[in-house]
Each structure stands twice: as structure tokens, then as C-alpha cells.
Chain A
Amino acid sequence: MSDYDFVALMPLLLLAGSSVLIMLLISIKLSHRTIQLSSLLLFIVAFSALFFIQKLLPYSIEPLLIIDGFSVFIMGLIIFSSLVVNIFSYIYFEEKEESPKEYYVLLFLCTLGACVLAVSKHFISLFLGLEILTVGLYALIAYLRARHHNIEAGIKYLVLAAFSSAFLLFGMALIYLESGSMEFSAIARKLHLIQSLSPLFLTGLGMMLVGIGFKLAIVPFHMWTADVYQGAPTPVTAFIATASKGGVLAVLFRFFVLIDGYRFKVVMLILIGIAIASMVIGNLLALQQKNVKRILAYSSIAHLGYLLVAFIPGSILSIQAFCFYLMAYLMTTLTAFGVITILSNKENDAEDIESYKALFWQHPVLACIFSAALLSLAGLPLTVGFIGKFYILAAGFQAGFLVTVLILVISSVIGLYYYLRIITTMFAGRQGLLPEEKKAHPVFYMISVLVLSVLTLLILWFGVYPSGLMHLIKDFQIK
């Protein structure tokens, strides 16, 4: 390994080192507050390391990893999401019965896994990253182990994720059998020589898609989503919805672009089918939910469908649309879950839609933040979600995928209904059910609200003035 390798790997090394460091800090019996603050500091260090390695790009560490503009962007999103989740975690876990300290170790490991996914260009690193991510998540989801919902969600996730990993491995093995390599570009070279896919290769791809599909929770592999979202502690749900999906999507995108899967009609048809099914079914299932976390779970299925629509054309505009929408989705989802976290109390999460009644008059700031996040998820102007959706529509339209574009439009109108339902609940009635503001941790409460406000301002800022962000993602190329 050369010195440059070390520099280029810095963000990953920092994340890995942080988890060890936090473990040591726990062993000398520091308080929750110290641990939380030091992990926040370490996240910030890891995040700023990303700026430090800009000069080296693109840099590949053969044969496993590639660090280019795209992967640094995705890593930035992942680490940023974890950072925000980390901030919300304090007030959530401080009141809970479990000791919250090991939580931060696991958070670092999961972030590391997601980041490895974002930089991998080889099946081995893909699998390693995915397993680091999911093994960490098993523990995180069931973290409050005395609670039924947590255990249920943890077991569900454990069984399904292990199952899907098996599918993924088998798919990789089949592709290896056909192409004789596990590196994406080598597979691409092999594929380049053939015109149509052999059945074995297709099976391999299909099995990989099953594995990845489970992690992404796209239809028809979405069954676990609502239960896990509901059962997991809210900050963990936020992490699943943002960082973990970002990493998996990035590697899927890279793999698909590198092997040029766009050439094969069968694969494209399957992807289009999945995208359409995710958009429609996700939005339809969310309509009748009464639990906000479940609503957000189903809406995340729909949003993954939208992201696939951006992914399908495979053009330059498509990468941009993908990056932009992913960023918009992460920011917005973090904000939404942040509000839920802040409103949660010792016994229960604020997940019942009834508990949001009259929030507008009780906590006007939080209610405005939540509305902005929901409107952005619904894709209304003045929010970043609108520009993102516009970008996706443009990408789809440019490549002539009219059916997917039309279905995106129709399903997002359906989706509007449940977002509006939450907002309507917030301004209905006069007397709320939620307790008064938390006084127990005023400092952390203020910090969390501050972070949420900043996120909301970003949502609005990028919704009105997206040029800066577009400039940033303009030059991304995967090949």
C-alpha cells in the first residue's frame, strides 16, 4: 500500500478507527454525553476528510475500490446522514432503559459499511460492505431489546437480510462462473463480447437483484419495510431509510453502468417493472396507514421507485438526476424522522398520526419543519423535492421513457393524499395530545431543533436556488 492509498482511504479508516476509539472511551466509563459529543466530533472529522482527498480523484485501489467524484459525493451523503442521526440520538436514547453507549460504535460500523459499498467496484468489497452494514443493523434495530416491537423488527430483519445475502452470494457465484472475474469492469469486458445474455448470467443477475432488492425494499421485496421501520428506534429507522439505502443504491448504480446493463432488454424490462410496481404499490399502501413511521416506510418504497426511474435512462442527465434526488430524499427523510425523534417520549415514539393533532399551535416551529419535509417528499415547489422530481422527469422524458414518467406523475398525485393527511392532522383541533416541550435535556433539544431548522432551510434553499448543487454534480461520471 502506498502513502496515497492511505490518504485516499482516509475517510474509511477514520470511520473504522472511530468505532474502536469509542469502544475504548466506553471502557473507561465516560458519560453518555461525552461519548455522544466525541462521536459527533469524529463524524465531523471523517466528513471533512472527504474534502481533503478531493485532489486525488479519481483514485482506484486495485482491485477492490474506486474513489471518484460520484463515490465521494455518496460517501458525503452517508456520513452526513449518520452525523445528523447521531445528533438526534442523544435525546432519544438518554431516557431509554438500555445503556446507549454501544449504540455509537454500531453506528460507526454501519456507516463504514455503507461507505465501503459506495466505493466498491468488486464483488468482494461489495459483499464485505453490505455485511458490515447489515450485521451492525441487526443489533441497532433490536437495540431496545426489552421491547416487543424492537425484537420483532430485529428478527424480521435478521432472517430476511441473511436470506437475501444468500441470494446475493449465489448470484455473484453464477456471474463469476460465467465471466471468470469478480471485478465490475472485467465482467463488463467479458460481457462486451456477447450480444445477448446467457441464461446462467441472467439467473445470476436476477439473484443479485433479489438480494439488492431486499436491502433497498423495492416491490416485490418490500414486505419487511413497514414492520422494521415501525419497530426500530426512530434514529435507527432514519439511518435505514437514508444512509443504508444510499450506499446500496450507489453500488447498484455503479455495477449496472459499468457492465452496461442498458443494452439488455430483459434486464431493462425487469427494472422498469420494479420501478413502476414500487411507485404504485408504495403509494397505495401508504394511503390507509395510521402510523407515521409506517407511512414514511411505504413512502420510502415509492421514493426508491422514483430513484429507479432516474436510474433507468442511464444518460448523463440520469446520473445527475439520481444524485440530486438521492440528496433531496436523504435531507428530507432525515428531517422528517428528526421531528418524530424529538416528539417521542420515554415510553412511546410519536408514531400515531393522532398524536400530531394541533401540533401547529403547540409547537409551531416543529410543525413547520415537518410540513416542509412532507411537502418536499410530495415534491411541491419551493422545496428541494420538487427540483429533484423535475430532474427525474426531465431525465426520463429525454430518453423517451414516457410510461415510467407518466406513472411517476400519477403515483405522486396519489402520494400527495397521505402527506396532506399528516399536515391536515397537524392543524386540526385545538388541544394536542403530545406532552409539553422536553425540559430534561434543554441543550440537546435546542441543538436538535437547530439542526432540523438548518436542514429545513437547506431544503428550501436548494428548492429555490439549486444551481450550486447542480454545479457540484454536473461532472460525475462512472465509467
Chain B
Amino acid sequence: MILAWIIGLLMGGGLLVLLLGQWNKTLPRWITLYVLFAGFIALVSLWIEHYPGFNLPTSNNWIVEYRQEWIPALGISFHLAIDGLSLLLLVLTFFLGILAVLCSWNDVKERVGFYHFNLLWILAGISGVFMAADMFLFYFFWEVMLIPMYFLIGIWGSENRVYAAYKFFIFTQASGLLMLLAILGLYFIHGRNTGIYTFNYFELLGTVIPPDIAFWLMLGFMIAFVVKLPIVPFHTWLPDAHSEAPTAGSLILAGLLLKTGAYGILRFVLPLFPGAARELAPWAMLLGVIGIIYGAILAYSQTDLKRLVAYTSVSHMGFVMLGIFAFNELALQGVVVQLVTHAISTGGLFIMAGMLKERLHTRDINQMGGLWSQMPQMGAVAMLLAMASLGLPGLGNFIAEFLILLGAFKANVWLSIIATIGLIFSAIYALRIVQKVFLGPSERSDYVPDFSWREIAIMAVLTLSIVWMGLYPQPLMSTAKPTINELEKFFPTENRSMQKVK
């Protein structure tokens, strides 16, 4: 029931904010903040309650489940269920949601109600995606988050916003419809096999699908997830959408929307089509590695700060792809940690870019430089986030990338060696950010204010969590462990045999 309440809270809060926004400009911010805080606290308490470290492991790794008939004629139910992985991502969703409200506190001055409505509905869609245990419902939420995101980019974005919004929308919608076809295919195959026509994820899990059809169905799912993730060559919407979106939009895009793609692969592609996924694995890993290198090189050559950070996302998501298709516990643990740490480090960099834009009215890093002397606090935080992004030990991303590379090494030695080279590129682009923006000769003489209290609070939370994850990532890993062990069951011999062969 708590799951349905969370969705209801977000959607209802959105409507309330939309109505109140007609009369008042500050109330919507506070209500949104309050709604997100309430959800965040509820989820954290749920997490503590079910934290595997405190409790005896139970046989069922689904923590909470809620089911209500929705369209019984077609076997569709309003079915939500979460396990450790979903719980982690849900907590992350609310965490970044709060930051998104905070970082656009002074940024958005017009149509405040509609803005926060969109924000809350995007988060509702994302939370729904992380909770849905019914394929139809999953698709439903998958699409629900698109429209408000489209508005967010299209109304509050920067100059080229309309183009970016179109591109984002059409890319994701097209790939999503292919997934819908695959879902329908799965539905009818399962129905014909068993006589039960249902979209229930748990019942569809064991569907026996002829291998050649399974491959096509899996491709339908994969395309949707890979576009969202994104993996080269489906990434072209990402730099545009990220750089044109308002700060909160970029934060949610990078921190959460991309994660839905990875979540989809983990939750649906691997368990539903284990055989086909195994066939795809070498290619998927190859694409992941290409993404790592390509994203890093392109990031290096950008002059637009937000575009630069956007391309680092492509690079980081390449690691995710590499890790997922290595099919072993180490790599999958790395993937989960990577999802969370990337959200925080890249989200932090986007917030930073937003703050710089607010002050300097430009995103061009050639017009920045020497800002450290004027903004030592921001410089220090930027240094830390850039170090996190390049994978410095002691910060979260290091743990993630290290685990992924370890796991991938077992599956495919050469690809992981090439991926490791990608880390060198990441050092180059991360240092370039710091060098170009904060060090070097100063480009401007006018006064640029350093952090305000609100900004200090945002950055403090971000830096603390990234350091925490670098030093003690165990809570993340223990929470996700049951899910990962469950996933491993679909590939029982895979990692072991790989170990022997290589």
C-alpha cells in the first residue's frame, strides 16, 4: 500500500501545486519540497526496516507488494512490487528530487506552479517505473514521465530548447513503442502457451519462447532501454536534451532518467530472455566499451560545460552496459553502485554548471577561467566532483568502476582492458573541467558571488554522500545483493565457465 501512496502523493501533490500556482509563487516550492521530503523519509524508514544487515535474510526478496485489478479484461493489474534494487533507486529518486527543487529555487520565476507540477509528475513516472511489476503498467509509467519532461525542457530550457525537446521526445517515444510491441508479443506468446493472458511480470518470467522470436522480442526491449541509457549510437538526443534543459531538468535526466534504462535491462531483459541476452552479451559489451571511449573523447572536445558533462554520462553509462552483460555478481554490484554514484557526481556537476550559468550567463568554458580566486568554495567542490567523476579512490565512482572492471575481466579480458584505458580519458576530461573553469588566468574582472547558504547545503549533501559511498559502500551492496543473486540464477554456469575458459 505504501507504494501506491507514494505514487499518489507525487501525482496528487503535482495537481495541488498546479492549482495553487495560479495564486501564489512560493507556496508551490514549499509544497513540492514537503511532498518529496515526506516520500523520502517514508522510503528511508522502509529501507532501514528491511535492511539486510539488521534482519535475517528472508526467502522472498520482494520487500513490499501491492496489487489491485485494473483492466481485468486484458489481464492488466495495478501491480507494484519493490526489491532491494528498486528501493535503492527509489530513495535516489526522492533524494535527487529534493535537490532538484532546491537548485531551481531562485532559477524559476515564472509559472512556478506548472514547473513544479511537471517536476513531480516526472518523479511519479520514474518512481512508477522502478516499482511496476506489470508490464503494461511499466510501459504506462515509462511514457508518463516523457510529457512533463518535454514541457520542462521545452518551456524552461535555454535557446535551442524546442529542438532538444522534440528530439528527446521522439527518440524515446519511438523506442518505447517498439518495447510496447515486444511486450505484446510476450503477452500473446505466454497466453498461447498457458491459456492465461496476463501482463503480470512474475507470471511472464518463466515464459518459454522460441529462441529466434525471443531474440527479436529482447531487441524490442533493448532498444527502448539502450536509447534511454544511452549507448552509442543511440545517444544523440542526450547532449542536446541535457544541455538545453534547465538545471533541475538536467539533474533529473542524468541522475534518474538514464537509470531507468539500466533498471529496465536488469529487471526485464536479463530475467525474461536469459538465452537471448547471452547471445547479445559480446556485442552489448563491445557497444559499452565503445561508449566509454567515445563519450570520453567527445567530452574532452566540448566547449559547452553542460554538453561536456552530458558526454561524460555517455562514457559512464558505457560502464553500466559493460557490467550488466558480464553477468556476474561483482560486475552487477558495480553496476548498482555506479547507478547511484553517477547520479550524484554527474548531478552535482550539472548543478554546478547551472550555478555558473546563473552567475556568468554562459556555458562556454572558454569564457570562464580563474574563478577559483573568486569562488574558492565552488572550486573546491567542483574539484571533488571532478575527481569523483574520473574515479579517484575514496570516492564512490571508483568503487563502482573498479567492481565493474573486475567482473568484466572475468567475462572478457580484452574488452575490459580497453575499458580501463577509458579511465585515462576520463581523467583528462575531468581535469580539463577544473583547469578551464577554475584555474588559469582570470577572464573577467567583475564580482562573482560564491555559494549562498542554499547552495552550500545542496553541495554539502552531495559531497558527503559521494564520500560516504567511496568509503563505505556496503549498505548499497547488501541492499542490492538479493536482487543480484536472483539475477545470477538465470546465468548459473555463465561466470564460472567463463572463468575457466579465460
A residues near B, CB below 8 A? Answer: 361, 375, 380-382, 386, 390, 393-394, 397-398, 405-406, 409-410, 412-413, 416-417, 420, 424, 427-428, 465-467, 470-471, 474
Asked whether B37 is an interface residue with its Cβ less than 8 Å from the other chain, the reply is: no
The 10 A-B residue pairs whose C-beta atoms are closest, nearest first, are A381-B143, A413-B174, A409-B177, A397-B184, A470-B73, A381-B140, A467-B71, A427-B155, A381-B144, A424-B162
B181 & A409 in contact (Cβ 8 Å cutoff): yes
B181 & A467 in contact (Cβ 8 Å cutoff): no
Q: Given the known A-B contacts A416-B170, A416-B173, A428-B162, are A393 and B147 also in contact in the complex, defined by CB atoms under 8 Å?
A: no
Q: Given the known A-B contacts A381-B143, A466-B71, are A397 and B185 also in contact in the complex, defined by CB atoms under 8 Å?
A: yes
Q: Give 11 pairs: A residue, B residue, CB < 8 Å, sorted on A.
A: A393-B180, A393-B181, A406-B181, A417-B166, A420-B150, A424-B154, A424-B166, A465-B70, A467-B70, A470-B74, A474-B73
Contact of A416 among B70, B111, B169 (CB under 8 A): B169
User: Number of contact residues on B: which range applies?
Assistant: 20 to 34
Residues of chain A lying within 8 A (CB to CB) of residue B144? 381-382
Asked whether B47 is an interface residue with its Cβ less than 8 Å from the other chain, the reply is: no
How many angstroms between the C-alpha atoms of A467 and B144 in the bound complex?
20
B139 to chain A: closest residue by CB: A381
Question: Nearest Cβ in chain B — how far from A302, in angstroms?
Answer: 15
Residues of chain B lying within 8 A (CB to CB) of residue A386? 143
User: Which residues between 131 and 185 of chain B lie within 8 Å of chain A, taking CB atoms?
Assistant: 136, 139-140, 143-144, 146-147, 150-151, 154-155, 162, 165-166, 169-170, 173-174, 177-178, 180-181, 184-185
User: Which residues between 99 and 145 of chain B lie within 8 Å of chain A, taking CB atoms?
Assistant: 111, 136, 139-140, 143-144
Residues of chain A lying within 8 A (CB to CB) of residue B185? 397
A420 & B177 in contact (Cβ 8 Å cutoff): no
Contact of B147 among A375, A394, A427, A428 (CB under 8 A): A375
Residues of chain A lying within 8 A (CB to CB) of residue B174? 410, 413
How many angstroms between the C-alpha atoms of A335 and B169 in the bound complex?
24
Question: Nearest Cβ in chain B — how far from A103, in angstroms?
Answer: 38
How many angstroms between the C-alpha atoms of A129 and B82 in the bound complex?
57
B192 to chain A: closest residue by CB: A398
Question: Nearest Cβ in chain A — how far from B363, in angstroms?
Answer: 22
How many angstroms between the C-alpha atoms of A386 and B139 in the bound complex?
11
Q: Known A-B contacts: A416-B169, A465-B70. Give 20 more (CB < 8 A).
A: A375-B147, A380-B147, A381-B139, A381-B143, A381-B144, A390-B136, A394-B187, A397-B185, A397-B188, A409-B178, A412-B177, A413-B170, A413-B174, A413-B177, A417-B170, A424-B154, A424-B162, A428-B162, A467-B70, A474-B73
How many angstroms between the C-alpha atoms of A427 and B181 in the bound complex?
32
Q: Given the known A-B contacts A413-B170, A424-B165, A427-B154, are A380 and B181 also in contact in the complex, defined by CB atoms under 8 Å?
A: no
Asked whether B72 is an interface residue with its Cβ less than 8 Å from the other chain, the reply is: yes
Question: Nearest Cβ in chain B — how far from A354, in angstroms?
Answer: 15
Contact of B169 among A382, A412, A420, A465 (CB under 8 A): A420
Question: Nearest Cβ in chain B — how far from A460, in angstroms?
Answer: 12
How many angstroms between the C-alpha atoms of A386 and B181 in the bound complex?
13
B residues near A, CB below 8 A? Answer: 70-74, 111, 136, 139-140, 143-144, 146-147, 150-151, 154-155, 162, 165-166, 169-170, 173-174, 177-178, 180-181, 184-185, 187-188
- Interface of A, secondary structure class, is helix
Give the number of residue pairs across the A-B interface with Cβ within 8 Å.
64
Contact of A470 among B71, B136, B150, B162 (CB under 8 A): B71
Most chain B Cβ neighbours within 10 Å, of A394, A398, A420, A466: A420
Question: Nearest Cβ in chain B — how far from A388, in angstroms?
Answer: 13
Residues of chain A lying within 8 A (CB to CB) of residue B70? 465, 467
How many angstroms between the C-alpha atoms of A419 and B154 in the bound complex?
14
Question: Nearest Cβ in chain A — how far from B184, in angstroms?
Answer: 5
Question: Nearest Cβ in chain B — how far from A305, in angstroms?
Answer: 16
How many angstroms between the C-alpha atoms of A409 and B73 in the bound complex?
23
B173 & A413 in contact (Cβ 8 Å cutoff): yes
B188 & A405 in contact (Cβ 8 Å cutoff): no
Residues of chain B lying within 8 A (CB to CB) of residue A397? 181, 184-185, 188
B73 & A471 in contact (Cβ 8 Å cutoff): yes
B155 to chain A: closest residue by CB: A427
B184 & A393 in contact (Cβ 8 Å cutoff): yes
How many angstroms between the C-alpha atoms of A409 and B178 in the bound complex?
8
How many angstroms between the C-alpha atoms of A375 and B144 in the bound complex?
12
A421 to chain B: closest residue by CB: B166
Residues of chain B lying within 8 A (CB to CB) of residue A467? 70-73
Residues of chain A lying within 8 A (CB to CB) of residue B169? 416, 420
A398 to chain B: closest residue by CB: B188
Contact of B143 among A380, A393, A417, A474 (CB under 8 A): A380
Residues of chain B lying within 8 A (CB to CB) of residue A393? 180-181, 184
How many angstroms between the C-alpha atoms of A417 and B162 in the bound complex?
12
Question: Nearest Cβ in chain B — how far from A362, in angstroms?
Answer: 13
How many angstroms between the C-alpha atoms of A390 and B151 in the bound complex?
24
B184 & A394 in contact (Cβ 8 Å cutoff): yes
How many angstroms between the C-alpha atoms of A474 and B162 in the bound complex?
42
Residues of chain B lying within 8 A (CB to CB) of residue A390? 136, 180
How many angstroms between the C-alpha atoms of A382 and B136 in the bound complex?
12
Residues of chain A lying within 8 A (CB to CB) of residue B143? 380-381, 386
Residues of chain A lying within 8 A (CB to CB) of residue B73? 467, 470-471, 474
How many angstroms between the C-alpha atoms of A426 and B54 in the bound complex?
54
How many angstroms between the C-alpha atoms of A398 and B184 in the bound complex?
9
How many angstroms between the C-alpha atoms of A26 and B473 in the bound complex?
82
Q: Given the known A-B contacts A390-B180, A393-B184, A397-B184, are A380 and B155 also in contact in the complex, defined by CB atoms under 8 Å?
A: no
How many angstroms between the C-alpha atoms of A417 and B166 in the bound complex?
7
How many angstroms between the C-alpha atoms of A409 and B177 in the bound complex?
6
How many angstroms between the C-alpha atoms of A410 and B178 in the bound complex?
9
A474 to chain B: closest residue by CB: B73
Question: Nearest Cβ in chain A — how far from B201, in angstroms?
Answer: 17
B22 to chain A: closest residue by CB: A364
How many angstroms between the C-alpha atoms of A424 and B136 in the bound complex?
28
Question: Nearest Cβ in chain A — how far from B129, in angstroms?
Answer: 12
How many angstroms between the C-alpha atoms of A176 and B213 in the bound complex?
47
How many angstroms between the C-alpha atoms of A393 and B139 in the bound complex?
14
How many angstroms between the C-alpha atoms of A432 and B230 in the bound complex?
38
How many angstroms between the C-alpha atoms of A291 and B263 in the bound complex?
42
Residues of chain B lying within 8 A (CB to CB) of residue A466? 71
How many angstroms between the C-alpha atoms of A424 and B147 in the bound complex?
12
Residues of chain B lying within 8 A (CB to CB) of residue A410? 174
Residues of chain A lying within 8 A (CB to CB) of residue B150? 420
